Amino acid sequence: MVTIHDVAKKANVSPMTVSRALNNPHLIREDTLKRVEQAIAELGYIPNKAAQSLVSKKTMLLSVIVTNISNPFFTEIVRGAEDKALQMGYQLILNNSDEDPEKESNYIHSLIARGIDGVLIAPTGDQSRKNLRQLIKCRIPFVLVDRSVPDVASDLIQGDNTQSVRLLIDHLVEQGHKNIALINGPDTISNSRERKKAFLEALKLCDIPANEEWILQTPLIGMDMDRIIKKLVALPPERKPTAILAANNFIGVNAIKSLRKLNIGVPQDMAVVCFDDPEPIPDFNPFLTVAAQPAYNLGFLGMQLLIERIEGRTTNLYQTIILPSTLIVRKSSTSVGM
């Protein structure tokens, strides 16, 4: 490994001059600078960031913790985050928590050890509080994305749950539906709580009665959608919903699969709409009606917020950014479907 000393010797200067040539070239005389630069080039010297970090207390390393990058929603968040990080000279460590607070905790421990400068995190849910407090204790800035955590003060960027649900409900109502079910995530996740609340409000706005039987919940990992759908369609005709609002893309896709298994036509026998677009590659055969959240921007702007926070270009007040979704109407809720 080539060190600053090797360069110094070669250029006949002190290591300090080399350091300055790199970080404050204007403090160096023209010809010395030339000599140093040439030595650097000849030796292929690359400053060691571990050593720099040790003195500067900055690693220029950020982390994105998502629950699962395989979910296109999070894929795009990560992509957006990476683009912004690159733009600002940071690099990104990727972590998948798999909705497991324990796993999340281990990652955060490693990140702290690593001296990470900040974290963009989609927490696993309210159980993440302990982990976030750990970050706070270590004074590591973080921004929450997609999910908030009660009693944890921080910057937050997320989709607009109220608006999104309303788009979907209004659409279903326009299609003539009155009996609408919600298949929601666990209510340890802020999203789920907000979506349920928005769901009830939206129904009220449309003068449609809510029905507790139609509000179901599934864990995000290990969902047994068959059971849920069976329960729903086993209801007596007059109490059976004609449409399902799925609280995310996994739920939506699985719901349709389960319906299919039971030979229930979508949308004829049951319309389905959901949050997030399961299609990362712009699709040629779109089926599912969705409220597409601006995932890329969630990541990009979230990262921007984080970096502003890190570099102190932000006031002390925490910001919350809410980005609206786009309704994309497709076959699962309109014409003849599958």
Partner DNA sequence: CTGTTAGCGCTTTCAT
Partner DNA sequence: ATGAAAGCGCTAACAG
* Least distance in angstroms from the C-beta of 197 to a copy of itself: 27
From the CB of 4, what's the least distance to DNA, in Å?
A: 3
Task: Give yes or no for a contact between 192 and 158, defined as CB atoms under 8 angstroms apart.
Answer: no
Using the structure block, give the residue that is written with the tokens 């179901």: 216
Answer yes or no whether residue 38 interacts with DNA by CB under 7 A: no
- Answer for which of 3, 19, 32, 75 binds a copy of itself (CB under 8 A) is 75
Any contact of residue 97 with a copy of itself (CB under 8 A)? Answer: no
Strand pairing class (320-323; 91-96): unpaired
For DNA, the binding residue among 37, 40, 55, 144 (CB under 7 A) is 55
- Sequence-separated (6 or more) residues with CB below 8 Å from residue 14: 8
Q: Which of 8, 11, 21, 78 binds a copy of itself (CB under 8 A)?
A: 78
CB of 87 to a copy of itself, least distance (A): 12
Total chain residues near a copy of itself (CB under 8 A): 54
Choosing from 48, 87, 268, 320, the residue that interacts with a copy of itself (CB under 8 A) is 48
Assess 335 for contact with a copy of itself (CB under 8 A). Answer: no
Residue 217 phi, psi dihedral angles, 5° rounding: -135, 145
Based on the shown chain and the rule CB under 8 A, indicate whether residue 53 belongs to the binding site for a copy of itself. Answer: yes
Summary count for the chain: helices (H), strands (E): 12, 12
Residue 322 interacting entry, from DNA, a copy of itself, none, C-beta within 5 to 8 Å by type: none
| Residue 17 CB, nearest approach to DNA (Å) | 3
Residue 325 near which of a copy of itself, DNA, none (CB within 5-8 Å, type-dependent): none
Least separation in angstroms between residue 170's CB and DNA is: 56
Nearest to 72 by CA among 229, 276, 270: 276
Interface with a copy of itself includes 173 (CB under 8 A)? no
Minimum distance from CB of 9 to a copy of itself (Å)? Answer: 20
Q: Does residue 304 bind a copy of itself (CB under 8 A)?
A: no
Q: Are 194 and 230 in contact (CB under 8 A)?
A: no
User: What does the alpha-carbon distance between residue 246 and residue 234 come to, in Å, rounded to a whole number?
Assistant: 18
Residues 6+ apart with CB under 8 A from 175: 243, 271, 333, 334
Burial of 56 (0-12, 13-18, 19+ CB in 10 A): exposed
Q: Which two tokens stand for residue 299?
A: 């990541």
Q: According to the binding rule CB under 7 A, does residue 48 interact with DNA? A: yes
- In 3D space, the residue among 334, 76, 67 whose CA is nearest the CA of residue 185 turns out to be 67
Q: Which of the choices a copy of itself, DNA, none does residue 23 contact, using the CB cut-off of 5 to 8 A by kind?
A: DNA
Residue 236 engages a copy of itself in binding (rule: CB under 8 A) = no
The two tokens of residue 285 are: 């055969």
Computed from CA positions of residues 311, 312, 316, 320, in that sequence, does the dihedral angle turn out positive or negative?
negative
Reduce the DSSP state of residue 15 to 3 states and report it: helix
| Residue 140 interacts with DNA (CB under 7 A): yes or no | no
Q: Is 324 exposed, middle or buried (0-12, 13-18, 19+ CB in 10 A)?
A: middle
Note whether 184 and 195 are within 8 A (CB).
yes
Which of 44/236 has CB closer to DNA?
44
51 belongs to the binding site for DNA (CB under 7 A): yes
Contact set with a copy of itself (CB under 8 A) = 1, 44, 46-51, 53-54, 57, 59, 61, 68-72, 75-76, 78-79, 82-83, 91-96, 109-115, 137-138, 249-250, 253, 256-257, 260, 278, 280-285, 287, 338
Contact set with DNA (CB under 7 A) = 1, 3-5, 12-17, 19-20, 22-23, 27-29, 31-33, 45, 47-48, 51-52, 54-56
